[in-house]
Structure 1
Amino acid sequence: MESKRQQKFAGLLQEELAAIFQREGAAYLPNTLVTITKVRVSPDLAVAKVYLSFLNTNNTSLSLATVNSHSSEIRYKLGSRIRHQARVIPTLTFFVDDTNEYVEHMDKIFDKIAKERTQEQRDEEANEQ
């Protein structure tokens, strides 16, 4: 469980990273919208795990690799934005947040189950007549 301090710092990082990606994200990933969905910070605030979601991209792993290759530049920009609010600028590690894909997958499964149930009900009604 994260402490209040970690949660507060993670919120700050999420906000500032979102601003960086909004303004300068096109330089890293043209025509791709990057959303910071979650930030987890280590207890010593030295390491931050940043979870990203990509829109308008065909290859999320390539997009993630591109962002990871620019992580030192992103960390530098983050440092210039939060230098008066933090002693240490955390090391950034980026991960893909596949929650949306998981939700879509589960929705498809539930739709399939619902269709099978309605088909079974129709079959039972036809047999009763």
Structure 2
Amino acid sequence: MESKRQQKYSKLIQKELGEIFQKEGRPIVDKAMVTVTRVLMSPDLGLAKINLSFLLADPAELIDKVDDNKSQIRKFLGRRIGKSVRVIPELAFFLDESAAYAQHMDAVISKLDIPEAPEEDEDDDENI
């Protein structure tokens, strides 16, 4: 479980990275819409694990492009939060596949052949 301090840094970095991808990071992601879905901080606040979700682009290609430019993204982050944190964390980007997993699970559940539950008689309840 994350400490309050880790949670505070996670929220700060999630907010700032979202703005970076909208403004300064536009040349990196082109026309794709990037959502920072989750940020997990290490206990020493030196590493941020960032889950990204993409729209209007190939996710595998874009995550590689973002990963190749993580030093530039870290520099943008340092300019934004450098006055309020001691150390700018190293960034590790991961593809967030929760939406795809949810669609997969929805498809699996809809294919299940679940019979209707029989209706219970009210007379059986009175005899107990």
For the aligned pair, the TM-score class normalised by the smaller chain equals: 0.7 to 0.9
Q: TM-score, with normalisation over the residues of structure 1?
A: 0.85
Size of the alignment, in residue pairs?
116
Q: What is the rounded CA distance, in whole Å, between the counterparts of 2:76 and 2:47 in structure 1?
A: 16
The 3-state SS of whatever aligns with 1:53 is: strand
More helix by share: 1
Q: What is the correspondence of 1:1-129 to structure 2 with a 5 Å cutoff?
A: 1-57=1-57, 59-113=58-112, 116-117=113-114
Query: CA offsets per residue over residues 9-57 of structure 1, 9 Å max, x none?
Result: 1100000000101113331121210100000011110110010001111
Q: TM-score, with normalisation over the residues of structure 2?
A: 0.86
The 3-state SS of whatever aligns with 2:83 is: coil
Query: CA offsets per residue over residues 39-90 of structure 1, 9 Å max, x none?
Result: 0011110110010001111x31111000001100000000000011101000
| 1:46–1:88 Cα contact (<8 Å) kept | yes
Q: What is the rounded CA distance, in whole Å, between the counterparts of 1:26 and 1:47 in structure 2?
A: 24
Task: Give 1:110 shift.
Answer: 1.3
Q: What is the rounded CA distance, in whole Å, between the counterparts of 2:29 and 2:42 in structure 1?
A: 28
Deviation >2 Å, runs of 4+: none
Q: Percent of pairs identical after alignment?
A: 45
Q: What is the rounded CA distance, in whole Å, between the counterparts of 1:9 and 1:26 in structure 2?
A: 24
